[in-house]
């Protein structure tokens, strides 16, 4: 069994595609039109074959859930890095809105940011990931 696709609900696929590719530096993998557009991106340094699905969030229960999770401070997903301090600075320079400065909890340092599409994302680094 493998993880190949991780779904993240977004309020606007075009805006999400621009944010994840132009700001975060992800690569577009699939963009297939249809009843529901199949749009995926991947992190250049990520695990081979794992894609983030940017799925349109148009149903009332999903919208309510996304809003409630955002307002409560729950992340939609977690991205890992081996240079949180450097990525934090770089992303801030590119206009990414973080909810605060990086925080350390045990062996993990993390920072939350807004993906502009209705989600909070955690950027994290474990001590053993540090360069």
Q: Burial level of 121, CB count in 10 A (0-12/13-18/19+)?
A: buried
Neighbours of 11 (CB within 10 A): 17
3-state DSSP call for residue 76? coil
As a residue count, the chain comes to 131
Which pLDDT tens digits describe the chain residue by residue (131 residues)?
Answer: 999 999 999 999 999 999 999 999 999 999 998 888 999 999 998 888 899 999 999 899 999 999 999 999 999 999 999 999 999 999 999 999 999 999 999 999 999 999 999 999 999 999 875 55
3-state DSSP call for residue 57? coil
Domain map (residue ranges) of the chain: 5-129
CA-angle at 100, arms to 115 and 57, nearest 5°: 20
Residue-wise burial string across 35-54, b where 16 or more C-beta atoms lie within 10 A, e elsewhere: eeeebbbbbeeeeeeebbbb
Q: What's the pTM? A: 0.91
Q: Report the CATH architecture of 5-129.
A: Roll (3.10)
Residue 11: closest CA among 51, 53, 66, 52: 66
According to the model, what pLDDT value does residue 130 have? Answer: 57
According to the model, what pLDDT value does residue 127 have? Answer: 85
According to the model, what pLDDT value does residue 36 have? Answer: 86
């Amino acid at each position: 069994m493998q993880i190949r696709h991780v779904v993240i609900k977004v309020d606007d696929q075009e805006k999400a595609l621009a944010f994840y590719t132009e700001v975060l530096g992800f690569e577009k993998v699939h963009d297939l039109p249809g009843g529901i557009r199949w749009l995926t991106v991947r992190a250049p340094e990520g695990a081979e074959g794992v894609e983030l699905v940017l799925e349109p969030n148009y149903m009332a229960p999903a919208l309510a859930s996304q809003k409630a999770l955002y307002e409560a401070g729950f992340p939609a997903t977690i991205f890992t890095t081996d240079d949180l301090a450097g990525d934090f600075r770089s992303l801030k320079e590119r206009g990414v809105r973080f909810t605060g400065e990086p925080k350390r909890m045990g062996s993990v340092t993390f920072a939350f940011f807004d993906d502009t599409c209705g989600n909070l994302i955690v950027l994290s680094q474990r001590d053993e990931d540090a360069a």
